[in-house]
Structures are given as C-alpha cells and as structure tokens.
C-alpha cells in the first residue's frame, strides 16, 4: 500500500528529521553532486566513445539522449530525495513498501563499484608516488644483465616502456585470469592507503566529506585547463581536435552506437546508485532541484567535452610524434641506399639525410607514388595512429604516461595528472559510499546512532574484499566488475524507479509535490518523458545489453608476457558463473522486497484485531480535509474520505490544507478546533 507523509509520520525506527545533517551552503551541495557525477569515465570513457563513434555526430546524439532521458531521470531522483529526505531505501519504501528492494539493490551496486573504484585510486597513488623522480621510471626500458650480454628486457623491448611499467612493474600481471598468482604487496599497501583516505574523509558524514569536496571537485578542472593550454602548443594538437569534431553522421544508423551513448548518459549522471538521492536528501525542502538538475547535467557534459579536448590534443601530439619517428626510420633506410639508389627514378626529391626537413605530407606523397612498390618502406599514417583508440586504464596509465615522458619537466606534469585522477576518483568515491551509508543510517536506528563505527567498518570490509583485486590477476577482476557487476543491475534499478514514480505513485501526484517544493509547476512534458520515453529507453537499453552479452559472450583483454602484447580471451566457466552471481545478487533485492512485503501484509491480515486502539491507530491521528471544510468542536466530525476510498497520498503536506483529529484523539483534545498547517 502506498504511503504518504500526510497520513504517516516519519519512520520511528529512523533518525529524527530535525537531527538530519544539512549542507552548509548551496555551493557545497553543487560541488558534491558535480564531484560524484564527474568521474574517471568523463576523462577516459567519453573521449574514447567520441573517437570510435563519429566524433561530433556522437556528441549530438549524446546531447539528444541527455535531454530526453538523462535530465528527466536525474531530476526525478533529486526531487524524490529532497521531498522525502531519506536515502534510497527510505524513498522507495515510502512510495510503496513493495518497492523497498530497489533501495537495497542500489546499495549492493554501490558496494560493487566502491570495491573496484578504490583499486583505481590505489593505482593512481602508486603512479603519483613514482612521479617524484627524474627521469620517470617509465621513460626507458630497464637493462637486463645476462650471463653473456647486456641489453633491454625482452618484454619491454617488444612492447614499450610505458606498457612494461604498467603490466610488469605496477601490476606484475599474470597471463590470464586463471593464473591468480600471489598478492602484490605494493598495490595492497596502496589500496589500504586509499581506503584510509576515504574513511577519514567520511568519518563525520557530509560535514567532513564536503570540506574535502572543495578541493577534490575543483582541482581536476584546474589541471584540465592547464593541460589544455599546454597541449594546444604541441605539434599535432590541431590534427587531434579536427579528428575529434569531424562528424560522421552515418553512425546514427548503428544501434550499438545508440546503446553506447545511452549507457554513457546513464553512468555519467550516476543514476540508480542512490547517491544522487542521498545528497539531495540533505537539502532544504524548497531548494530548486529542477535548476540543480539542469546545472549539474550541463556541467557534466561540458566537463566531458573539456576532457575530450585535452585527450585528443594529447593523442594528436602522440600520433604526430609516432608518425614523424616512422618517417625518420624510413629516411634512415633511404640514406643507407643512397650510394646505389640515388640515381633511380623513384628516388625522392627531398633531403633524406635531414629528417627534420621532411614533412609528413611530403613523405606520404612519395610513399604512395613510389615507396609502396619497393616493399622496404612503411606508410606513416597519422590518421591510422589516431584510429588506435585507447580507453580506460590504457589511456591513463599507458598513453598519457607515454606523452608526459616527452614533456620537458616531465615529473611535474606526471604529478599534476595523477593528482587529478586521484581527486576525480575520490570525489566519485565519496558519493558512492554516501549511497551506501545514508540509506542504512536512515532505516536502521542503531546504525544511525553509530555513524563513525559504520563508516570505519564499511571501509575495512571494502579493503578486505578488495584484496581480490591486488592479486597479480587482480586487473582482470577489475575489468569484470567494471563491465558486468553494475551495468545490468543499475538499469534494472532505474527501470523500477521510473515505474514507481510514473505508474505506482503517479506523475500528476509527483508533479503536485514538486510544485509544493518549488512554488511553481514543472513543464507537463516531464509527465510523458517519465511515463513513456524514459521507461522505454531504459527497457531498450536493458534488452540491447542483454542481447550483446548473450550473442557476443563475455570476454576480457589479457596481457601475454611472452608475446608482450594484449589479446582477447574468453572467461572460464567459473568466471562466467561469478558474473551471473554478481548480477543476480545485485538484482535479487527487488523481487525479495516485493515478496517480503506481500507476505508481511498477509500475516498482518491473519492476526485477529485487538480491542481498543492499537499502535496503528496512533500512527494515523490525522485525516486530511479540504481547507473549505468547517471544523465544529461541538459536533462530531464527518469523515473526510468516503468509506473504501483510499485517500490521496503525497510526499509533502499541502500548505493550505487543514487536518481534522480522528474521534479518539478529539476526545482527548476537545478544546482544539483546527490543526495548524504542518511541514516537513
């Protein structure tokens, strides 16, 4: 049965709303929401998707889906959290006890994400610590001293110094997920440090984490602008930006591109985690959450564009450097042939002894006219280098580190970059943990009274389970969790959230409640977006993700030490079972919550009614009447609602509505004629 604050007071098992923490200022709240939604995905996922899916055309598609799906769902979560002033469990339990499982599913997914997200923070700490040395340890291959000869380590010589440092020095990775290997002691220490930072920053709730947000949310923007200014001065920067924005409109006909764009919108805003709801629940009731939704969504998108500019500027410089190095190698071959081949008709007109005097277009023109027929030369294609898309850890810990090693004062730039990654990760981590702690403290009185113990225990548990990721094969488990543990469960959570608001509670009723908060009514278009567009989009995304998983099959990218290269492998049977269990365990609270509520209701109906007023009578002391109804203290009140008709419930009490005492309470307080207006 639906609940509403008009008929039911706050849950007595939860903390008193008067004691609920609140943001010190609006800027503190905005920084927290932006810090949570703007994360590592904006830096290493969005640019890759633009790179692979048509540049400017993908951005247009992203903005379209952001406006019709992302912003409405983000606004819905903000409004629900702010009006009910509870975490994710309390919000959906408030709408209907049958939907309480939605909140628990959000908590489970948040815990999944926190487990592997903090491992990425640990990696950033490791690289940050290694940035305080010159030259940087990933600039050159280490020398191996053999029995007969001295030379570079074969694995490094066959790949690159940055790849070798990442896979061998940082991760010391195995060849597959089936080879677990021992624990990596350095990464275990970094993971402990990462959890210690999170625990200390959140030990006092939003009061302590919000202070950290002032730095962790703003600092990444400072670094991004510094890198953008520095990057535009690099050779090849314009080539990278041109490649990024050149639109390829034909990608709009590809269903997988729509799926990727919708998924990115979904994760960029942090929908379904419960963190948006948790942060919003600490707001004043009349805060303009509609403006917040538009503002945070816009900042998020502009951050993605800014990060993409930085990434493409850097990748453009990297591609140009690789292409010019290719030209120099081919000119070296020509120089060796100069004694015999300089008189041939195919001999180039440019100076082969000075690579700096030969431009890339000049060499490529000669290659296509003559060089390709000789078989000894290679095509130094800038666009081909740009097409080698890099995402995720490969972008941050391989491609970017390679470029920063080419910068003058490389330790400074490396320190700046990994400080930015660290702060991006921490600000998102704070929101993720808040999505776990706030619902638990709101719904369990004991946990609410021991916030510090709960925070420390959660972080300690996260570290212990996180040891799974500090094995030599730990990176493969990070990929597994990132690809499969959150995507499907979160989409399922948001589908049920949308059903709860749009069909169980009702969009008109929800808009009424928002009108009470904002003092104006949001456009009616939200009603149709919530009921149809957003719901169908989420169902479509779920279907597309399931079909892709079934037909393509779960795979992962492994590093082969012998070949010194990456290769795609299929997960073994036990790993597939683990993936299924992760998805099922995160989704299971939704049906369990529904079944538990139904059984609880049936057992309550089976209990014979007791004589006299029971506890439930005291919970429903008031019944709502229209403000035009006259309350006469000398006569018995007539019922405000007809028998058998369920009264309209609401998130918020209506300001000009009156409340009449039920008969048993009127006898105790007969001198009062009207109840004054109440508020949350």
Give the gyration radius of the chain's Cα atoms. Answer: 30
pLDDT above 80 (res 651): no
pLDDT value, residue 146: 59
The sign of the CA dihedral 73, 75, 78, 81 is: negative
Least confident of 242-246, 385-389, 541-545, 621-625: 621-625
Task: Provide mean pLDDT across the span 111-120.
Answer: 93
pLDDT above 60 (res 632): no
Of 493, 485, 514, 572, the closest CA to residue 266 belongs to 493
pLDDT above 90 (res 68): yes
Using a cut of 0.95, tell me whether the model's pTM lies above it: no
Query: What is the four-CA torsion angle of 145, 147, 148, 149, rounded to 10 degrees?
Result: -10
Q: Is 42 annotated as a binding residue?
A: yes
Q: What percent of the chain has pLDDT over 90?
A: 29
pLDDT value, residue 391: 63
Q: What is the DSSP letter of 669?
A: T
Q: Is 424 annotated as a binding residue?
A: yes
Asked if residues 527 and 507 have their Cβ atoms less than 8 Å apart, the reply is yes
pLDDT above 90 (res 379): no
**85 φψ region: left (φ > 0), alpha (ψ -120 to 50), beta (else):** left
The residues with which 659 forms a beta bridge, in sequence order, are 624
Asked if residues 430 and 113 have their Cβ atoms less than 8 Å apart, the reply is no
Q: Is 35 annotated as a binding residue?
A: yes
Number of other residues whose CB lies within 10 A of the CB of residue 81: 26
pLDDT above 50 (res 151): yes
Asked if residues 330 and 371 have their Cβ atoms less than 8 Å apart, the reply is yes
Q: Is 38 annotated as a binding residue?
A: yes
Residue 72 and residue 74: Cα distance in Å, rounded?
A: 5
Task: Provide mean pLDDT across the span 34-49.
Answer: 85
Domain ranges of the chain: 35-321+390-600, 322-387
Cis peptide before 135 (omega within 30 of 0): yes
The sign of the CA dihedral 592, 595, 597, 600 is: negative
Higher pLDDT, 159 or 19: 159
Q: Give the confidence band of 561 by pLDDT, cuts at 50, 70, 90.
A: confident
Q: What is the DSSP letter of 133?
A: S
Asked if residues 113 and 432 have their Cβ atoms less than 8 Å apart, the reply is yes
Task: Provide mean pLDDT across the span 339-347.
Answer: 64
Of 42, 66, 93, the closest CA to residue 423 belongs to 42
Q: What is the DSSP letter of 246?
A: -
SS3 559: strand
Angle among Cα 92, 93, 96 to the nearest 5 degrees reads 90
Mean pLDDT in the chain? 80
Higher pLDDT, 359 or 582: 582
Q: What is the DSSP letter of 253?
A: G
């Amino acid at each position: 049965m639906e609940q509403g604050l008009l008929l039911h007071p706050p849950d007595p098992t939860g903390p008193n709303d008067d004691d609920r923490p609140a943001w010190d200022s609006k800027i503190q709240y905005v920084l927290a929401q932006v810090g949570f939604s703007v994360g590592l995905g904006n830096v290493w996922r969005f640019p890759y998707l633009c790179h692979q899916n048509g540049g400017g055309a993908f951005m247009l598609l992203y903005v379209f889906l952001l406006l019709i799906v992302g912003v409405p769902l983000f606004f819905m979560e903000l409004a629900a959290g702010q009006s009910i002033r509870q975490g994710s469990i309390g919000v959906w339990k408030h709408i209907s006890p049958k939907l309480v499982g939605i909140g628990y599913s959000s908590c489970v997914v948040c815990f999944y994400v926190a487990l592997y997200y903090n491992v990425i923070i640990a990696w950033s700490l490791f690289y940050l610590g290694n940035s305080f040395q010159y030259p940087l340890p990933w600039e050159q291959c280490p020398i191996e001293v053999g029995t007969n000869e001295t030379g570079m380590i074969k694995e490094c010589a066959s790949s690159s110094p940055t790849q070798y440092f990442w896979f061998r020095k940082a991760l010391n990775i195995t060849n597959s997920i089936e080879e677990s290997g021992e624990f990596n002691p350095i990464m275990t220490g970094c993971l402990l440090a990462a959890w210690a930072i999170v625990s200390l920053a959140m030990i006092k709730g939003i009061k302590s984490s919000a202070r950290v947000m002032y730095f962790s949310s703003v600092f990444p923007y400072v670094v991004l602008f510094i890198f953008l200014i520095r990057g535009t001065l690099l050779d090849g920067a314009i080539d990278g930006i041109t490649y990024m924005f050149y639109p390829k409109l034909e990608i709009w006909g590809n269903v997988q591109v729509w799926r990727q764009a919708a998924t990115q919108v979904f994760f960029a805003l942090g929908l379904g985690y419960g963190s948006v709801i948790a942060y919003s629940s600490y707001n004043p009731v009349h805060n303009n959450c509609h403006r917040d939704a538009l503002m945070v969504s816009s900042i998020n998108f502009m951050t993605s564009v800014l990060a993409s500019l930085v990434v493409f500027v850097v990748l453009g410089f990297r591609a140009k450097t690789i292409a010019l190095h290719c030209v120099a190698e081919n000119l070296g071959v020509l120089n060796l042939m100069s004694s015999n081949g300089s008189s041939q008709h195919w001999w180039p007109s440019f100076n082969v002894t000075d690579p700096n005097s030969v431009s890339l277009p000049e060499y490529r023109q000669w290659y296509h006219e003559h060089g390709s027929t000789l078989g000894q030369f290679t095509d130094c294609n800038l666009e081909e280098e740009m097409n080698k898309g890099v995402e995720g850890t490969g972008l941050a810990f391989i491609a970017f580190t390679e470029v920063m090693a080419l910068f003058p004062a490389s330790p400074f730039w490396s320190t700046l970059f990994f400080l930015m990654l660290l702060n991006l990760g921490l600000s998102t981590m704070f929101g993720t943990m808040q999505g776990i702690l706030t619902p638990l403290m709101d719904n369990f009185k004991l946990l609410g009274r021991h916030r510090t113990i709960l925070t420390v225990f959660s972080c300690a548990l996260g570290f212990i389970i996180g040891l799974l990721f500090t094995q030599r094969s730990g990176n493969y488990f990070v990929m597994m969790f990132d690809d499969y543990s959150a995507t499907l469960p979160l989409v399922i959570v948001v589908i049920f959230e949308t059903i709860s608001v749009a069909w169980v509670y009702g969009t008109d009723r929800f808009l009424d409640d928002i009108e009470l908060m904002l003092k104006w009514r949001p456009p009616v278009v939200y009603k149709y977006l919530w009921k149809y567009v957003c719901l169908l989009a989420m169902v479509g995304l779920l279907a597309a993700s399931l079909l892709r998983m079934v037909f393509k099959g779960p795979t992962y990218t492994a590093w082969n030490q012998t070949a010194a290269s990456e290769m795609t492998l299929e997960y073994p049977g036990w790993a597939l079972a683990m993936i299924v269990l992760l998805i099922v365990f995160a989704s299971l609270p939704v049906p369990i919550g529904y079944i538990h509520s139904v059984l609880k209701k049936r057992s309550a109906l089976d209990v014979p009614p007791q004589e006299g007023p029971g506890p439930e009578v005291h919970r429903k002391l008031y019944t709502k009447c229209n403000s035009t109804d006259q309350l006469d203290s000398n006569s018995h009140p007539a019922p405000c609602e007809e028998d058998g008709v369920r009264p309209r419930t609401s998130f918020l009490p209506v300001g000009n509505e009156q409340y009449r005492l039920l008969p048993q309470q009127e006898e105790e307080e007969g001198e009062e004629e009207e109840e004054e207006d109440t508020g949350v």
